[in-house]
Amino acid sequence: MLRLLERLGLRPFATPGVGMFVWADAGVDTNPVAQAMLDRGYLMAPGSLFLPDQRPSSWMRLNIATSTNPAMIEQLDASLQRARG
């Protein structure tokens, strides 16, 4: 799963040994990415949700336990491409 995220241009913070979540840097504000995904029926967690002042963040938290759906990966790729311009 981490290799797939890297192919989408996401940079994981660390390689988790265990767990459901991975933090990845998208290189762009992840709020529009999360909104685009929500519009398509996928719930993502932009990094701003985890900051006290909720300022824009290029980080996002992904649930890697449920993020293997090919349609979701396709939509994430498209949303990231749009956000990157």
Note the pTM of the prediction, 2 decimals. Answer: 0.84
List, for residues 55-76, the tens digit of each pLDDT value.
999 999 988 777 778 899 999 9
* Domain assignment of residue 37, given as a range: 2-84
The pLDDT assigned to 15 comes to 77
In the predicted model, is pLDDT for residue 80 greater than 90? yes
- Residue 62 region, left (φ>0) first, then alpha (ψ -120 to 50), else beta? beta
CATH classification at residue 27: 3.90.1150.10
List, for residues 5-48, the tens digit of each pLDDT value.
889 999 988 877 777 888 999 999 999 999 999 999 999 999 99
**Distances from the Cα of 50 to the Cαs of 10, 19, 83, in angstroms?**
18, 18, 20
Structural domain count, the chain = 1
